[in-house]
Amino acid sequence: MTILFSSPRRLIVGVGFAALAVAASQTSALAHITLATAEARPNAYYKAVFQVPHGCDGAATQAIHVRIPEGVIGVKPMPKPGWTLAIARGAYAKSYQSHGKAVAEGPKEIVWSGGSLSDDNYDEFVFTSFVTDFSPGQAVFFPVVQNCANGEARWDQIAANGQNPHDLKSPAPMLRIISETTVAQAGMDHSSMGKTDAAAMAGSDIFKAGDVVVAAPWTRATPGGAKVAGGYLRITNNGKSPDRLVGATSPGADRVEVHEMSMTNGVMKMRPLADGLVLKPGETVELKPGGYHMMFMDIKQPLKAGETLKATLTFEKAGKLDVTFKVNALGATGGASHQH
């Protein structure tokens, strides 16, 4: 198995896209590879879920290489049917304690290869790990190389101190370390959250109906004359059976739709999900710019930063859930808990 990160060459590939209407123009962030859960506590277990939303300029993804940063130990990747899994091991810069024993080496790179993920499809690549003694507020980066049928995309740019990662063309997936105090301030009973990552929900607005937990709904301010707005949030199904987001309404819009955005031959395409958004048992789905999202159609007045927008989500099993979307600044790339 070729270990790409040992090579000195560096190829940065940005995937361009054509402008869509006003709705899609609000999705300013490139749909790069990201972590589904972008926050974790130090000295705690962490499930890394790498979200792959598209291929390379329309070509299918054939391999994913993830470099493991120093201080992330005990890595155990999840096999994927149809893919070959390879683990490159190596020595750590220092020794770490794990279950009362010193650990001096472990996985340094994970490679899933031999599969074929169409540019029209989305998938996730997963491993469990233990995050060691990082400082709260520290950023931990997981450089990724995406091999495709026509080349590769290297998601390995790391933001300098004080630099916004969203300003980079090919940012490495980033994990923000948060403190126990931050988690406690969320005012939540962690034991009641089931498989929801409490750290990722810290500081967010939380709404619950049945086994469904909705966290951090947000939208962007709209320019005068705009008739559409995007809606973003995280949904976790803590139940033992699938559920489905089948619809939504809002007093601030004539109708609300759930959309999927994808890249085809360098062109960003958006389509409504006629059958709703499926939520697997124990799964967290993030609706965000460049991927699944909600669209408030024919909004009745411009949205202004600092205001809120009410909506009611309808789930197939959990029923109706009233939520409140915070309105962030025009051009914002994330909710309050996602700003870097």
Is the pLDDT score of 18 beyond 60?
Answer: no
**152 and 204 inside one domain:** no
DSSP 26-66: T--S----EESS-EE-TTEEEEEEEEE---BTTBPEEEEEE
Please state the rounded mean pLDDT for residues 269-289: 88
Q: Name the token pair of 95.
A: 């020794």
CATH of residue 301's domain is: 2.60.40.1890
d(C-alpha 194, C-alpha 282), whole Å: 8
**198 and 302 inside one domain:** yes
The pLDDT tens digits for 40-61 are 888 889 999 999 999 998 999 9
Q: Name the token pair of 300.
A: 């009745």
Task: Give the model's pLDDT for residue 265.
Answer: 61
**210 and 139 inside one domain:** no
Please state the rounded mean pLDDT for residues 76-102: 93
**141 and 256 inside one domain:** no
The pLDDT tens digits for 111-169 are 999 999 999 999 999 999 999 989 888 899 999 999 999 999 999 999 887 676 767 88
User: Could you report how far apart the first and last alpha carbons of the chain are, in Å?
Assistant: 35
Choosing from 133, 151, 177, the residue where a domain stops is 177
| DSSP category for residue 277 | E
For residue 106, which phi and psi values (nearest 5 degrees)?
Answer: 175, -170
Choosing from 177, 203, 238, the residue where a domain stops is 177
Residue 207 domain-assigned (yes or no): yes
Share above pLDDT 90 across residues of the chain, in percent, rounded to a whole number: 55
Type of residue found at 232? Y
Domain residues for the domain of 90 are 42-177
d(C-alpha 199, C-alpha 211), whole Å: 18
Task: Give the model's pLDDT for residue 98.
Answer: 84
Type of residue found at 261? M
Residue 220 domain-assigned (yes or no): yes
Residue 337 domain-assigned (yes or no): no
112: number of Cβ within 10 Å: 27
The CA-based dihedral angle spanning residues 243, 244, 247, 251, taken in that order and rounded to the nearest 10 degrees: 50
Is the pLDDT score of 4 beyond 80?
Answer: no
Q: What is the pTM of this model?
A: 0.51
**Which one has a higher pLDDT value, 265 or 229?**
229
Is the pLDDT score of 339 beyond 60?
Answer: no
CATH of residue 91's domain is: 2.60.40.2230
**100 and 134 inside one domain:** yes
Residue 96 domain-assigned (yes or no): yes
Residue 28 domain-assigned (yes or no): no
Of 28, 46, 12, 85, nearest to 232 (Cα)?
28
**110 and 49 inside one domain:** yes
Choosing from 136, 152, 177, the residue where a domain stops is 177
H runs (alpha helix) in 196-297: 198-201
Residue 216 domain-assigned (yes or no): yes
If one counts the domains in the chain, the total is: 2
d(C-alpha 158, C-alpha 140), whole Å: 9
Task: Give the model's pLDDT for residue 97.
Answer: 87
Residue 152 domain-assigned (yes or no): yes
Of 242, 53, 268, 58, nearest to 149 (Cα)?
58
